[in-house]
Structure 1
Amino acid sequence: PNLSTISFSFTLANMSLPGTSSFIGEFPISVGAFQRNSLVATLAALGMILGAAYSLWLYNRVVSGNCKPDFLHKFSDPNGREVSIFIPFLVGLVRMGVHPKVFPD
């Protein structure tokens, strides 16, 4: 459950969920593109929607897809040390999304 939760957090960030670092980059670009050329912006928005759908499809396949029975005996959930490696990345991901002005342009 720990690895799937961490993976889902990164999947949501890849989908540019508000409050993550990806949203801060994609939202102003999308707004500016709609003001400049709505056709190109519509195609870009379609690409973002397809990218989000692919991210969810990929997450679903990785986390709950078919796996070989012998793999389940070898695989274990990450231990505390391995989870602690992901913590700074998750904190940075949310911190950049909540307080983007702290980071240089």
Structure 2
Amino acid sequence: TWVAFFAATGVILSAAYALWLYRRVIFGALTKDSLKNLLDLSPREKAIIYPLVVLVIFFGVYPAPVFDATAQSVKALVTNVTASINSAQTAAAN
């Protein structure tokens, strides 16, 4: 259909533009002199980001502490949502 054709064309053009833009941003030459003197990360920024990276990797590999801490509230939320759905279905059936 025509809709699928235009949708596929849009996806292809978007991907091509994203790749072109990525190449210009990442591999392009710096044109402003003020940007040429910037360092990647200062020691202060490294001291802030390294513990965060370690925590993200740790909780990505071993998420049990987060799940254990939130289990009770998630269980209560699921119970409330289930009760609401059941009451809505009962009301709709009557």
TM range (shorter): 0.3 to 0.5
TM-score normalised to the size of structure 1? Answer: 0.35
**Bigger relative contact order, structure 1 or 2, given CA contacts below 8 A and separation 6+?**
1
Query: Higher helix share goes to which structure?
Result: 2
